[in-house]
Amino acid sequence: LYDDTLRDGEQTIGVAFSLEQKLEIAQKLIDAGIWHMTLGFPAVSESERKIVTELAKLDRSEGFYAIARCIPSDFETVLECGVKKVGTWIPISDSHLQHKLRVTEDQAFDMMIEGIRIATSMKVPVRFALEDATRAPYERIARFARGAIDAGAEAITIADTCGVLTPNTAFGLFKDLRALLGPDAGLVAHFHNDLGMATANSLMAYLGGASMIQGSFAGLGERTGNVALEELATALMVKFDADIGVDLVKLKDLAYLVAEYAGMVIAPSKPVLGKNIFCHESGVHVQGIMRNPATYEPYPPALIGSEHQIHFGKHSGISGIQHVAAAEGLAASDADMRTILNKVKLLGEDGHSSTREEIAKMLAEVQA
C-alpha cells in the first residue's frame, strides 16, 4: 500500500495540514506498517519545502517520494529536501493532450523520456505517472508505460484520474500491462472514486498484477477522493487473505485522525469507519448475531478494533429485550418484556433509538 494522503489527500477542498499534523500522520503510517508515501510537492512554496524537508527525516526504508514536474529545478528541489525518490507525471488522454498541454502524443512521449533522462542523470529513482491514462486508448497506455520502464523509470503509475474504470476493465488493463512489462516492473494503481468503484477497481488491479496501490485515508482527495486505504486494506485481508503487513486497528485509528484534521464528517454507514457498521436493530438480525455474529457481520469487528452493538427501535424484536435481561441478570416476565418492546417500537417510530442502558433501566423498573 502506498499513501498519498499528504499530497493528493491534502488537495481536498479546504484541507491544509500543518507540519505537526503531517509529521504525526507520517509517523502513524509507519507505525501501522505503511512505509511508502508521497510527502508533497516541494516546488509549490517555501513552506511546502520546509514541511517536506522535515518529513523526509522520518524515512528509514527509502520509501518516501516527493513529486516534481519534468524539469531539472523541480528535481533538484526534491533532492535538496532530503527526499531520495521523485514522482513525476504527464497526462496522456486526448482531452489533456489537446486542451491542457496542447501537444501531440509524440511530443508528450518525448517530454516523458526527457524527464526520466534528467532524473536518471541525477541518479534519483523516478516513478512516472500517466495522468488520465484510463481515458486514453490502450495502445497509447502501453506505449508510454513500456517507454517509461525502458527509459529507466523504477515504476509506472496508471492514474484513473476521473474515476471512470470499472472492475472488469481495471483487471484487464493491469493484466495486460503486467504481461507487457514483465514480472519485475513496478506497476502502481492510482484510482479515484468518481463513480463509487475505487475500492473494487483497486482490488481488481491487485488481482491483475499491480505491485502497489496508492490511496488516501477516509476518502480524501480531489472531488470524490482517492481509494480509501482503510477500506482497501480491510478488503484485501478479509477477502483475499493478503499479507500486506499492516495493522488494521492502527490504520482505522489513523483514518479517524486524518478525518478529524481534515474537518471531514464520516458518514455513519461508511465502510470500516462508520459508527453504524456493526450496529443491529432488526429483530431477525439481532436474533441471528446473538446465536452467531457471522450471520450478519462480514468479518469480526475486533479485526479493526470495533465491537458490535444492539440498538432498539421500530424494527426490534423480543430477542433483543431478552438478551439485555439475561445479560443484566434481570428477571422480567414475558408480558413485561413485550410491554417494553411495544414502548421501544413506538419511540422508534418517532425516530428515537433506545440504548441498551435505557432498556436495562426499563427492565429494572418493571422488576421493582
Rounded CA-CA distance 357/359 in Å is 5
Q: Are 154 and 189 in contact (CB under 8 A)?
A: no
Where do we find the cell 488494521? Answer: 248
Left (φ > 0), alpha (ψ -120 to 50) or beta: where does 211 sit? alpha
Give the H or E element holding residue 127: strand 126-131
Q: What is the pLDDT of residue 37?
A: 97
Q: What is the pLDDT of residue 323?
A: 82
Model confidence, pTM: 0.91
Task: Collect all residues with Cβ–Cβ distance below 8 Å to 121 and sequence separation of at least 6.
Answer: none
Grid coordinates given for 122? 541525477
Angle at 44 between CA 39 and CA 48, to 5 degrees: 50
Nearest Cα to Cα of residue 277 among 291, 249, 297? 297
Nearest Cα to Cα of residue 195 among 159, 230, 224? 224
Q: Are 215 and 236 in contact (CB under 8 A)?
A: no
DSSP 3-state assignment of 147?
helix
Q: C-alpha distances in angstroms, 104 versus 88, 98, 107, 137?
A: 19, 7, 5, 14
| Terminal C-alpha separation, the chain | 57
Q: What is the pLDDT of residue 222?
A: 93
Q: What is the pLDDT of residue 68?
A: 96
- pLDDT tens, per residue, the chain with 368 residues: 999 999 999 999 999 999 999 999 999 999 999 999 999 999 999 999 999 999 999 988 889 999 999 999 999 999 999 999 999 999 999 999 999 999 999 999 999 999 999 999 999 999 999 999 999 999 999 999 999 999 999 999 999 999 999 999 999 999 999 999 999 999 999 999 999 999 999 999 999 999 999 999 998 999 999 999 999 999 999 999 999 999 999 999 999 999 999 999 999 999 999 999 998 888 788 888 888 889 999 999 999 999 988 888 888 888 888 888 888 888 888 888 899 889 888 988 988 888 888 888 998 888 75
